[in-house]
Structure 1
């Protein structure tokens, strides 16, 4: 099917690649179908693009690439909603807030996107863990000048 996108123009996508967010995404409750599109010449970042709203595309990445200690347990309701039967089918992404420089960009670790690759069901899960923020820096900040 053809869709219009924020960053890729009009493209063809396969229907079996459409992710279904049964409850939408917080703040975008009516947006239920998205596709994951690669960024050219970049394996770290993708666009989570709405199928129905061309201007709605989120830059996303695998949070484990940038935050090795990131860990959470998915609640049973989410496990049931997503239909998980095998943890090998779990894909986790985080929405990024891109800044002028990549070094200042942040990741929303408090609300990761969890995808069941076996059935393309997806959900943005809100974590109640105070260790994770909505604006977690992607890269560790260098030590301040003069600090020993």
Structure 2
């Protein structure tokens, strides 16, 4: 599914649209519609921890979130080998509005959200899973390659 970028992803201000592909219930991938760079693996933060933040009013207006019913929040994950060495950026979530196909990156203030990190180790969420089957499911999902989808 294609999304117009209303507020750029830091470091990739030239990118105007991204394609979102769902890998499974936890992992997603976004890729530039005009080339191979950038491409990011995303993760559903709510599958890992309690995660809450305020979306700035300007971004709410840009994404037209007031009456939106279909919002997705995801975080960029930097994959490493072994997978447990991967990191997650909880300070700059991506917000997707499925109703109007727009997206933006929200940059949170680390002083206002000290519980979140820009490079939170994935192993922090693998070591103490709710149960062992959930831990294995996370690892398997992250290592799968996405299946191509038409949009």
Pick from 8, 11, 28: which aligns with 1:46?
28
On the 8 A contact 2:69/2:99 being kept in 1, the answer is: no
- TM-score normalised by L of structure 2: 0.74
Aligned with residue 80 of structure 1, among 61, 65, 76:
61
Whether the 8 Å CA contact 1:61–1:96 is kept in 2: the answer is yes
Instruction: Name segments (4+ residues, structure 1) moved above 6 Å.
Output: none
Structure number with the higher strand fraction is 1
RMSD value, Cα:
1.8
* 1:66–1:138 CA contact under 8 A, matched in 2: no
Q: CA deviation at 1:87?
A: 5.3
Alpha-carbon distance in 2 for matches of 1:51, 1:37: 12
Give the one of 70, 91, 97 matched to 2:72: 91
Aligned pair in 2 of structure 1 residues 58, 93: CA closer, same or farther (>3 Å)? same
Structure 2, unaligned runs of 5 or more: 129-151
Please list every run of 5 or more consecutive structure 1 residues that lacks an aligned counterpart in the other structure: 1-16, 144-148
Higher RCO by CA contacts (8 Å cutoff, separation 6 or greater): 2
1:5 matched residue in structure 2: none
Bigger Rg, which one? 1
Of the three residues 122, 125, 128, the one matched with 2:103 is 122
Greater per-residue helix proportion: 2
Please give the per-residue CA displacement for 1:21-63, whole angstroms capped at 9, x wherever unaligned. Answer: 1232110001010011234xx4422211100121321011111
